[in-house]
Structure 1
């Protein structure tokens, strides 16, 4: 047990359920985190602190609605946790999207308090896109976890040993990576260099118009339109992007809205109803599709 732990309280704006986030993280293949939470709903994370890149571990708890406690007073880490759990966005108007769109309202009722749970940083999201290119997601998750265990740092987080993904400088110095081709290794080195240079900083990406941010991301080696969307939405946490290249989302929308022949442009028009939470609704759509596929 951790004694005399310094804590920070995060006040939540809008509905949020940490247990729902933990359940999502446990089932989210890229995270490969079946140990993410315990029976009490406590969530544990280990990751490189963005910008400084030293590995940190945090325990996160929710004792009552509207209040989250994080076992750190480090403002950089607290802000990163807020972003990872989408608590840096005022969600008080999210319910209004569901009232205006019955499809969204049904999803909100089915998954109450679920907000997007992000990769720990845009850097790690970008690494995932390179690792996972043209291989099965489960295989990519195993490779990513092995890299964390072999080249990252293991941290004791409230009694559990968690491996933090290696910092950019560490990743850049690795000549060979398990299960990855020379090309993918070279592209990971380019991602590490971009992270060191601040190109992948979440605050910078969020400060740009979405299209400008994705254009900047597409300049990186190995990052195409789909990957750029993923990094911006699931890494930087932009709350209002419609993923135009996410085919599984589009398939779910065609089912949900009974639009079997709708193309991406037509679905983007449907998603205009979701503003300013298009990324959040897309997450609920994808979650519902995965739950149905596994049931």
Structure 2
């Protein structure tokens, strides 16, 4: 277990509605990161992950007394990692985005307005990093999401560090150097092991930097991601939208989202779906997540 004595408290600026308890509930139901011990009580969330560019393990406790109230976080980590860990935690919770204009999307589109009323203050909760998202995409190829989530958690326990985050011990996914060093990544096929090592190498080389991926046009970022072994159309969207937490991308390959949209909009083709989503700018990812949350509630997939 990694015990980090250095703790730094920070006030987190929040622009627009935000409910940390809703985020914690979302995380508990998000199979790739589902973890019952992440939220010790309402208004608290604990995270543990290797933080770029050092890739040392860090822990973050996030606290909010009530919906739309002030947010604070305690960063457990090497002092040189604090700023990067805080930035990562803000990205994970979509707190690095000004959400004051999100309500206007619902005002323009009553379907979105109904979703916002159903899930007040819920913002997308992302993977800890594009690196972890890409690893999950590789692990999950041709198996069920719950199976992939179990393998990802077991890799964290076997190869990662356990971090004491304000009194709760959480596993942290193995950093890139660890995946590269093992002769073969356990619990996956030889092909997946080779691809995971390639993802780890790309992460160390800075090719999976969240800020960089979000700074370039979406189409360019997706094309760049698809040059990585095992990363195709669906996976590249996962890495960009749910790994780098890009707030404004429409998932062209997310068929379940498309099915849910067709249930409430008089559209059929992918082009028509994309045209509807254009009305959600600059929060297309945020609205897409609300659709998927509702589908999970109603259908279970």
TM class, shorter-length:
over 0.9
1 CA distance for matches of 2:49 and 2:133? 12
Alpha carbons 1:143, 1:178 under 8 Å: kept: no
TM-aligned CA distance change 1:165 to 1:270, over 3 Å: same
1:271 maps to 2:277: yes
TM-aligned CA distance change 1:270 to 1:6, over 3 Å: same
1:169 maps to 2:169: no
1:283 equivalent in structure 2: 289
SS of 1:43's equivalent in the other structure is strand
2:298 equivalent in structure 1: 292
* Gaps in structure 2 of 5+ consecutive residues: none
1:67 equivalent in structure 2: 70
Alpha carbons 2:105, 2:112 under 8 Å: kept: yes
1:24 equivalent in structure 2: 26
SS of 1:178's equivalent in the other structure is coil
Q: How many Å apart are 1:76 and its aligned residue?
A: 0.9
2 CA distance for matches of 1:3 and 1:130? 34
Alpha carbons 2:43, 2:65 under 8 Å: kept: no
Alpha carbons 2:179, 2:185 under 8 Å: kept: no
Q: How many Å apart are 1:33 and its aligned residue?
A: 1.0
Extract structure 1 runs of 4+ deviating beyond 6 A.
none
Note the alpha carbon deviations across 1:93-130, whole angstroms, 9 max, x for none.
Answer: 00000011000000000000000100000000000000
1:182 equivalent in structure 2: 190
Q: How many Å apart are 1:20 and its aligned residue?
A: 0.4
Alpha carbons 2:93, 2:125 under 8 Å: kept: yes
TM-aligned CA distance change 1:137 to 1:4, over 3 Å: closer
1 CA distance for matches of 2:174 and 2:84? 18
1:233 equivalent in structure 2: 241
Of 20-29 and 61-70, the range deviating more from structure 2: 61-70
1:138 equivalent in structure 2: 146
2:46 equivalent in structure 1: 44
SS of 1:243's equivalent in the other structure is coil
Alpha carbons 1:11, 1:66 under 8 Å: kept: no
Q: How many Å apart are 1:19 and its aligned residue?
A: 0.3
1:211 maps to 2:211: no
Q: How many residues align?
A: 292
Q: Normalising to structure 2: TM-score of the pair?
A: 0.94
* Gaps in structure 1 of 5+ consecutive residues: none
Alpha carbons 1:146, 1:178 under 8 Å: kept: no
Q: How many Å apart are 1:4 and its aligned residue?
A: 9.3
2 CA distance for matches of 1:40 and 1:245? 34
Note the alpha carbon deviations across 1:224-270, whole angstroms, 9 max, x for none.
Answer: 011111100001111110000000100110012144xx121110011
1 CA distance for matches of 2:39 and 2:140? 25
2:9 equivalent in structure 1: 7
Of 272-281 and 63-72, the range deviating more from structure 2: 63-72
| Correspondent of 1:221 among 216, 229, 232 | 229
Q: How many Å apart are 1:13 and its aligned residue?
A: 0.3
Note the alpha carbon deviations across 1:16-71, whole angstroms, 9 max, x for none.
Answer: 00000000000110003121102232100100012110000111101252421110
Q: Normalising to structure 1: TM-score of the pair?
A: 0.96
